[in-house]
Amino acid sequence: MELHDHTLIQLRDAIARREVSSEEAIRASLARIDSLDTGENGLNAFLEVFHDRALDDARAIDRRIAAEGAEAVGPLAGVPVAIKDNMCLDHGRTTCASRILENYESPYTATAVQRLIDAGAVIVGKTNLDEFAMGSSTEHSAFGPTLNPWDRARAPGGSSGGSAAAVAARMVPGALGSDTGGSIRQPAGLCGVVGVKPTYGRVSRYGLVAFASSLDQIGPFARNCADAALLMNVITGHDPLDSTSVDFEAPDHLTELERPLEGLRLGVPRLARSDQNHPEVARIFESAIEAYSGLGAEIVDIELPLMKSGVAAYYIVAPAEASSNLARYDGVRYGRRAEIGPNDDLVALYARSRAEGFGSEVQRRIMLGTFALSSGYYEAYYNTALKTRRLIKNEFDAVFADASGPRVHAVLTPSSPEPAFKLGAKLDDPLAMYLEDIYTVTANLAGVAGVSIPGGFVDLPGAPKGLPVGLQLLCPTFAEASMLRIARMFEKTGDWNSRAPEL
């Protein structure tokens, strides 16, 4: 097995046993990135790669492992990881894949990223995304799309498409993304990797460039549930720098992972079986349901009637918050400043800087959000969306708990209604792009936890090894550990994790 084929835990253990040095592991990751990511057919998963710095960091970790032992260094001692480029890091640039932040250098590091570093991980680079995490394909990056490693003619999903593709292509064994309405789970599904959207408040958002603050969460990508559980252990926890981060102990996500959940009840919402699914997605979904029943799970048909309104509510709430959050990019304080003439005033500076700096999707979101919040429309749009959001949360509360205990432990859906779509297929049709998020947005609106795991592969023309299809589990708030146990039960029934794209 080559070094880049190691999963995160395999690599970590090999480094701890000193069979491999961190420097060798980082060299292997950098070599893989160099050979696959750039040039004409390059996947473009990375916006910045820290060649020298990562090797320096690795050598420092190797010295510490030699002196103190790997355990003392931390649970990720020496392994390469990547982070989405909307997370601040005190070196390199933090661009959010936007022209407006093209040369922005953050003076500080996001808490979740710092936790990786403190656990001994080496950050090899920053990954591509839809500009400001707005999108479902990574095509809205100002620096070109990321290609799907399973078929370069297709999108990897988004907005964390760079992180998903980097893990799928085995450039890194783990990465961080952010999920506001599905941006971890949908690309994880389309790239055949595991992606976790933690409960709102579980992981600090400090240093995550805000898109929609009441929905945003950072979470891990990995090749399997165990690696994702380890990354969850590292990034989870209270942070006094984020007032929305919760102050209660997280369990060890790894210890019980292999123990199947007894008496598992899985809810399947009616919408998840609707005919809007691609027939191959529907087929994989039904076989996953069968696999779970074969494992002894009770499958419960549930309604979640407002799931279908999630996209409508989300695309009011998220743009509304975005329009406010993005007001700070005024050409004065951060990033790009437009040239103005001697007779232009401050308003012209703002307008030109923003017109030049923001791409079309971001401008669309700002307009949608500003409209939804403006007087006369606030009641009709924003307030209605907030009420819908609350009712969606109530629906989840009702399926997760009744007087006699949980009705279901998890809700099962496809991660998205179709396998990876062709680049460009939805670019001129924003509504079609938004409908990619039909299964994912409700988790963010309700604040619950979610995960996407590989559900199987389908054969479509042009993809030599098939295309992955993601399976989503949604669980009650703070139930990430049991969610990963349930995910692991299914993972053990197939070998999807060991498949690699032909690159």
Residue 7 or 94: the one with the smaller Cβ distance to ligand GLN is 94
- What interhelical angle do 22-37 and 8-16 show, nearest 10? 150
Determine if 134 is a binding residue for ligand GLN (CB under 6 A): yes
Stretch that binds ligand GLN, among 45-53, 96-104, 179-187, 243-251 (CB under 6 A): 179-187
Residue 181 or 419: the one with the smaller Cβ distance to ligand GLN is 181
User: Which among 22, 29, 84, 452 is annotated as catalytic?
Assistant: 84
Residue 393 or 465: the one with the smaller Cβ distance to ligand GLN is 393
Q: Report d(CA 490, CA 15) in Å as an integer.
A: 29
Would you give the DSSP letter of residue 408?
-
Residue 143 or 292: the one with the smaller Cβ distance to ligand GLN is 143
Q: Name 497's bridge partners.
A: none
What does the per-residue mask of binding to ligand GLN show for 195-234, with x meaning CB under 6 A?
A: ----------------x-----------------------
Token pair for 326: 């993005």
- How many residues at the interface with ligand GLN, by CB under 6 A? 14
Phi, psi of 333 (to 5 degrees): -85, -40
Helix (H) or strand (E) holding 459: none
φ/ψ bin of 230: left (φ > 0), alpha (ψ from -120 to 50), beta (otherwise)? alpha
Q: Amino acid identity of 280? A: E
Residue 25 or 433: the one with the smaller Cβ distance to ligand GLN is 433
| Known catalytic residue at 84 | yes
Shortest distance in whole angstroms from residue 403 CB to ligand GLN: 34
Determine if 181 is a binding residue for ligand GLN (CB under 6 A): yes
Stretch that binds ligand GLN, among 54-62, 130-138, 336-344, 376-384 (CB under 6 A): 130-138
**Which residues touch 282 (CB under 8 Å, ≥6 apart)?**
273, 275, 414
Determine if 146 is a binding residue for ligand GLN (CB under 6 A): no
Shortest distance in whole angstroms from residue 499 CB to ligand GLN: 26
Shortest distance in whole angstroms from residue 430 CB to ligand GLN: 9
Determine if 318 is a binding residue for ligand GLN (CB under 6 A): yes
Q: What is the CA radius of gyration of the chain?
A: 22
Shortest distance in whole angstroms from residue 326 CB to ligand GLN: 13
Site for ligand GLN in 60-99 (CB under 6 A): none
**Which residues touch 23 (CB under 8 Å, ≥6 apart)?**
55, 58, 59, 62
| Known catalytic residue at 287 | no
Residue 181 or 331: the one with the smaller Cβ distance to ligand GLN is 181
Token pair for 9: 């835990």
Determine if 452 is a binding residue for ligand GLN (CB under 6 A): no
Tokens 């590989």 correspond to 454
Query: Sign of the C-alpha dihedral, residues 382, 388, 390, 392?
Result: negative
Q: Which of 120, 162, 174, 182 binds ligand GLN (CB under 6 A)?
A: 182
For 432, the 3-state DSSP assignment is: helix
Determine if 139 is a binding residue for ligand GLN (CB under 6 A): no
Tokens 């952010």 correspond to 178
Determine if 26 is a binding residue for ligand GLN (CB under 6 A): no
CB atoms closer than 10 angstroms to residue 258: 12
Q: Name 422's bridge partners.
A: 154
Residue 353 or 440: the one with the smaller Cβ distance to ligand GLN is 440
Residue 98 or 136: the one with the smaller Cβ distance to ligand GLN is 136
Given a contact cutoff of 8 angstroms between Cβ atoms, the answer to whether 477 and 244 are in contact is no
- What interhelical angle do 51-68 and 22-37 show, nearest 10? 160
Determine if 326 is a binding residue for ligand GLN (CB under 6 A): no
Shortest distance in whole angstroms from residue 389 CB to ligand GLN: 15
Long-range contacts of 150-153 (CB under 8 A, 24+ apart): 150/191, 150/192, 150/420, 150/463, 150/465, 150/466, 150/467, 150/468, 150/501, 151/420, 151/460, 151/462, 151/463, 151/464, 151/467, 152/41, 152/43, 153/422, 153/423, 153/462
Q: Amino acid identity of 52? A: D
For 431, the 3-state DSSP assignment is: helix
What does the per-residue mask of binding to ligand GLN show for 429-448, with x meaning CB under 6 A?
A: --------x-----------
Determine if 135 is a binding residue for ligand GLN (CB under 6 A): yes
Shortest distance in whole angstroms from residue 314 CB to ligand GLN: 7
Residue 7 or 178: the one with the smaller Cβ distance to ligand GLN is 178
Q: Report d(CA 443, CA 429) in Å as an integer.
A: 24
Q: Which of 95, 127, 180, 236 binds ligand GLN (CB under 6 A)?
A: 180
Q: Which residue is nearest to ligand GLN (CB)?
A: 183
Q: Report d(CA 20, CA 455) in Å as an integer.
A: 32
Stretch that binds ligand GLN, among 100-108, 176-184, 299-307, 340-348 (CB under 6 A): 176-184
Token pair for 75: 């649970």
User: Which among 22, 98, 159, 452 is annotated as catalytic?
Assistant: 159
Q: Which of 121, 133, 304, 448 binds ligand GLN (CB under 6 A)?
A: 133
User: Which among 21, 183, 309, 415 is annotated as catalytic?
Assistant: 183
Determine if 183 is a binding residue for ligand GLN (CB under 6 A): yes
Q: Name 300's bridge partners.
A: 267
| Known catalytic residue at 35 | no
Q: Where in the sequence numbering do the catalytic residues fall?
A: 84, 159, 183
Residues that bind ligand GLN (CB under 6 A): 133-136, 159, 178-183, 211, 318, 437
